[in-house]
Amino acid sequence: MRFLDLTGRIKEFFRNRERNPFNLNVIDASTKFNNFGQDKLKLAAVLSNPACLKVFSLQCDLFSLGKVYVYKDEEELKDDPFLKLINNPNPMQSGSQFLWDYMFWNMLGNDYCYVDSANVEKVGNRMYHMEPFKICWPKDMQENADKFIFSDDTLKAYSKKNVQYRYNDGSVFNFPLDRLVKSHDLTNGIGNFFKGPSRLDALYKVISNSEASLDAKNINVRFSGKFLVGSVNEVSKLGLAEEEKDDIKNKLDGSSQRVYPLRTMVDIQRFVSDLGALQLDQAYLADYFLIGSMFNIPRDVLEANVSSTFENQEKARMSHVSYTLQPKGNDWMNSFERHFGYVQLGKNIIIDWMHLPFTKVFEKQNADTEAVKVATMEKLLSLGVPIEEVNKFLDTNFTIDESKAKNQSQVGSAGSGATESNQGTSNQGQ
């Protein structure tokens, strides 16, 4: 009964969005600061709609495969305490699940990550993602959420403000604001520095249409096995009595008889004669693709339609990582750098996906590009172009032994043995 009631509330929620979707303030285009019900219904809408949930799970699954690194002066710190913390953030979750949850809440609009201590080396330090609709912000923060902060004293006072987190049983967990690492999907610059809008605000009609198409398919599938039976000629007489109706149903449905002698011809028709003509599956896939495109997921990654080649899918995944997941990951890791004071220590926290199989396509393209550069360099050197001009033209930093470049043949060998002084790469550069 609870599930049915929740489903009904979700449908009623979407039906009531026409005039003012998700309580969007029409005057200043800002979302309300602390609306428990609306945020919770957005979560329920994602979890109950197959198209929307598939988009969310696809994006979160891929993000959770990311690998975190810490560098200082371009040297990888494999034993940095932050790596131990993010790989074991709390007793209830693994590192990959922690990454999954970040992307899930970020896609809903805002991620609030609670960090128990700003001392990353503290024994027993814990990190948890909070459910946004359970956070109760102080009243003065709600009233001043759009105010600029110029004073360090004001900023320090804000960071120590008490925030409440309400559990399902009604109990309250209190903590200072400076223990939150905040990330926003779109922006926090639209009237509220502590909460940004959600892409779901623009998708309520798409999700409601998807729900309606699924309901329509369910109804049509159930009625496709039902039939209408009526007399062709006897149209002037009154309708059948209940006994006559039951007699017809019993004879047609419960008998193995194959021939039925009748006084007049009867007409038998399906309630739904051509389910395929309704194109409900195509409508569902269209909604799925539209939801995915709103979150910048390429068509080949969504796989809602048949991709041309496997290579195109791999390239699409790499493009998706580069243009969608990487910026999100960079922003989140930068937040941890500031929170744990890594900026002052000269440390960089990065996340990337270069260890995954589909990146091999990207590496092959890079190798082909470098081979073209080397071939072009050899040709330019053979024409007597100075190495400085070659580097400027190719945007490289090659060096060459001048003693080996006295004639054309020696130029060729020198070109193949040329080295680029800044070619040493690491995951940090990726």
- pLDDT-wise least confident of 148-152, 154-158, 268-272, 356-360: 268-272
**CB contact set of 44 (below 8 Å; sequence gap of 6+):** 6, 9, 10
Decide if 101 is inside a domain.
Answer: yes
Decide if 306 is inside a domain.
Answer: no
Residues 11 and 94 in one domain: yes
- CA–CA separation, 139 and 106 (whole Å): 24
Residues 236 and 142 in one domain: no
Residues 46 and 162 in one domain: yes
pTM confidence score: 0.69
Residues 196 and 75 in one domain: yes
Decide if 282 is inside a domain.
Answer: no
pLDDT at 99 over 70: yes
What does the pLDDT read at residue 269? 57
pLDDT at 7 over 70: no
In this prediction, residue 197 has a pLDDT band, given cuts at 50, 70 and 90, of confident
Which residues make beta-bridge pairs with 90? 93
- CA–CA separation, 319 and 353 (whole Å): 12
What does the pLDDT read at residue 417? 47
C-alpha distances in Å from residue 245, one per residue of 149, 249, 260, 272:
78, 6, 16, 21
What does the pLDDT read at residue 263? 58
What does the pLDDT read at residue 46? 84
Contact 71, 77 (CB under 8 A): yes
> How many percent of the chain have pLDDT more than 90?
30
- 103-136 pLDDT, tens digit per residue, is 999 999 999 999 999 999 999 999 999 999 899 9
What does the pLDDT read at residue 27? 32
Token reading at 325: 């997941």
In this prediction, residue 217 has a pLDDT band, given cuts at 50, 70 and 90, of low
Decide if 291 is inside a domain.
Answer: no
Residues 245 and 373 in one domain: no
C-alpha distances in Å from residue 260, one per residue of 239, 255, 265:
21, 11, 11
In this prediction, residue 230 has a pLDDT band, given cuts at 50, 70 and 90, of low
- CA–CA separation, 429 and 424 (whole Å): 9
Decide if 412 is inside a domain.
Answer: yes
- CA–CA separation, 349 and 68 (whole Å): 7
Residues 95 and 165 in one domain: yes
pLDDT at 249 over 80: no
Residues 253 and 382 in one domain: no
> How many percent of the chain have pLDDT more than 70?
66
> DSSP string of 79-116?
T-HHHHHHHS-BTTB-HHHHHHHHHHHHHHTEEEEEES
Q: 376 is in which domain, residue-wise?
A: 359-420
Mean pLDDT of 368-392: 83
- Beta-strand ranges (E) seen in 211-322 are 227-231, 266-270
Decide if 288 is inside a domain.
Answer: no
What does the pLDDT read at residue 156? 87
What does the pLDDT read at residue 412? 46
- 52-62 pLDDT, tens digit per residue, is 889 999 999 99
Mean pLDDT of 239-253: 68
Residues 170 and 243 in one domain: no
Residues 164 and 239 in one domain: no
End-of-domain residue from the set 242, 270, 298: 270
Residues 145 and 248 in one domain: no
Mean pLDDT of 393-403: 73
Contact 103, 60 (CB under 8 A): yes
Contact 109, 200 (CB under 8 A): yes
Decide if 296 is inside a domain.
Answer: no
Residues 144 and 190 in one domain: yes
Decide if 396 is inside a domain.
Answer: yes
- 278-319 pLDDT, tens digit per residue, is 445 677 788 888 899 899 898 888 874 555 567 777 778 888
Instruction: Kindly give the residue spans of alpha helices, DSSP state H, lying in 88-198.
Output: 95-108, 139-143, 152-159
Domain count, the chain: 3
